[in-house]
Amino acid sequence: MGTMSYVSTVSDKPLLGDTIGQHFDRTVERWGGRLGLVVRQQNIRLTWRELQIEVDAFAAGLLALGLRPGDRVGIWSPNNAEWVITQFATAKAGLILVNINPAYRLHELDFALNKAGCRALVTATAFKSSNYAAMLTTLLPELAHCAPGKLRAAKVPSLEILIQIGAHGLPGSFAFEAVPALSGEDERARLIDLGRTLQFDDPINIQFTSGTTGSPKGATLTHHNILNNGYFTAEGLQLTEDDRLCIPVPLYHCFGMVMGVLGCVTHGAAMVFPGEGFDPLAVLQTIAEERCTALYGVPTMFIAEMSHPDFNSFDLSSLRTGIMAGSPCPIEVMRKAISQMHLRDITIAYGMTETSPVSFQTGLDSPVERRVSTVGKVHPHLECKIVGSDGRVVPVGTPGELCTRGYSVMLGYWDDAERTKQAIDPAGWMHTGDLATIDSQGYCAIVGRIKDMVIRGGENVYPREVEEFLYQHPKIVDVQVFGVPDARYGEELCAWIKLRADEAMTEAEVRDFCRDQIAHYKVPRYVRFVDEFPMTVTGKMQKYLMRAAMEEKLTGG
């Protein structure tokens, strides 16, 4: 490369010009008799052809419910077969799938459904501490008296249809397994026609990413965005139809549904889900039982697996490759994964939801030091540059903001032209907000974050969103939220709170206010009540001083 921080990559493998539905059907034609999906907790094993039968039936049922191309269908569920079926079925029907974090609570669910204007919601009954059915009946009391498909809710006016996965007891909803039977020959014929008319540049997915200005933003992604990103990520692992990929990462996130599901469908590899949510023992059991050859996870997942007391009792020799991503990957964790889990070809990937997600990935031939000190080289058919505060490309090795351009860049934030304009410049560059360097060999290293984001166990938390929520409490006059180091999760959330005059509050009261309203990983682990905040003379908050003070207190320094 040259002397400036700009990289681009061509490839002898062209971009895919298919919709997800078209490519799924090609996979079935090629590998239909091979194992396609394993969901361990549901005891489900389907070949690609058997999965196609389930997908087409559910897609036709969605059309029978009156859903039309472009309508938004939310999905609020942990990992299961129904999630995967819904992902492919909505793509085939031209419906836009809206991913809703399984950890979301009422406040966030309300926002996501209304922001995307969802006409339908596919929902689980419960997951961990989240009682979805109870939350839905609170948000949508009209369910108690409406016929299925006829919801008219005051708080979510667009929502008409609820489809419940699992135990069916939610009034006013359809059972997931009953939806296929609603369709007939007309819907099947329409589904075939849609397969010919849908375009790969059509939006097909909305994924919410928290914003520094408070409310989450809905990154709007196309067939072309995510199908190609899944394809080239799997290419980086050299996946084939003989591989079995263990996917303990969540489907609501790009890691699961793009790098996982779409990476498998483009290469004929089997998708293997060890459980609804992450459990290290279930992952180890699944790898051994299914002879998985590849494994995905954030660093904390690999740490939990390798530190499990029964780790040495499992035969993991079938493993070859995988991806560690989501937060910085410690060199010792990578070394142990390679030596103790047989992951000799494990790679690191970097990206963001808005770029479908992967922009950089380490190669199988990269030295271990390169795999952990950098996030690899730019992906095929993409361009990346590092710019200074003046927007100009900086010399090689100089830190600046990382920008990405190419097929992977989202269409924009759903119904938010202003924030889209702030993120994607007139030349088509997506400004990531991450500080990075690119060296003379084209390797990229992430050195910091412009946006004040906290990464807790692979979950991105934007302090401003939590601050905006806490501001709603009548006793709180001001609040600053930031991350502090944590041995288990990488970072934990800390809130400094200034109360209104003559008010008193406890840490437990703060956490109780958050509980069931925002996701558990956004609830501050540490709370400190202060009279003032450190600020500059111009009134800007100095969070680095707050962070330093908390680190000193927590370490006893």
Residue 448 has pLDDT above 70, yes or no: no
Q: Which residues contact 430 (CB under 8 A, 6 or more apart)?
A: 352, 354, 355, 403, 404, 405, 409, 410, 423, 424
**pTM of the entire predicted model:** 0.86
How far apart are alpha carbons 490 and 497 in whole angstroms?
A: 23
- The pLDDT assigned to 370 comes to 84
Residue 496 structure tokens? 């400094």
Torsion of CA 19, 24, 30, 34, to 10 degrees: 160
Mean per-residue pLDDT, 490-501: 93
- The pLDDT assigned to 346 comes to 95
Residue 212 has pLDDT above 70, yes or no: no
Residue with tokens 């361990």: 40
Identify the CA nearest to 325 among candidates 269, 385, 275, 263.
263
- Residue 38 near residue 273, CB atoms below 8 Å: yes
Identify the CA nearest to 188 among candidates 52, 51, 27.
52
Identify the CA nearest to 122 among candidates 465, 93, 457.
93
Average pLDDT, the chain: 93
- Residue 44 near residue 413, CB atoms below 8 Å: no
Residue 329 has pLDDT above 80, yes or no: no
Residue 386 has pLDDT above 60, yes or no: yes
| Domain 22-31+48-199 CATH assignment equals 3.40.50.980 | yes
pLDDT tier, 328 (very low <50, low <70, confident <90, very high otherwise) = low
> pLDDT tens digits, residue range 23-65?
999 999 999 999 999 999 999 999 999 999 999 999 999 999 9
Chosen CATH of 6-14+217-449 out of 3.50.50.60, 3.40.50.2300, 3.40.50.12780, 3.40.640.10: 3.40.50.12780
- The pLDDT assigned to 183 comes to 98
Of 263 and 537, which is predicted with more confidence?
A: 263
Mean per-residue pLDDT, 507-532: 94
Mean per-residue pLDDT, 328-340: 83
Of 510 and 307, which is predicted with more confidence?
A: 510
- Residue 121 near residue 98, CB atoms below 8 Å: no
Quick one: fold of 454-555?
Answer: GMP Synthetase; Chain A, domain 3 (3.30.300)
How many percent of the chain have pLDDT more than 90?
A: 80
- The pLDDT assigned to 214 comes to 59
How many percent of the chain have pLDDT more than 70?
A: 97
DSSP 508: H
CATH 3.40.50.980 domain residues, the chain: 22-31+48-199
Residue 159 structure tokens? 């929502």
Q: Which residues contact 154 (CB under 8 A, 6 or more apart)?
A: 142
Identify the CA nearest to 378 among candidates 298, 451, 438, 440.
438
How far apart are alpha carbons 371 and 288 in whole angstroms?
A: 26
CATH 3.30.300.30 domain residues, the chain: 454-555
CATH 3.40.50.12780 domain residues, the chain: 6-14+217-449
Mean per-residue pLDDT, 317-334: 86
- Residue 404 near residue 375, CB atoms below 8 Å: no
Kind plus residue range of the DSSP H or E element containing 270:
strand 270-273
Residue 557 has pLDDT above 70, yes or no: no
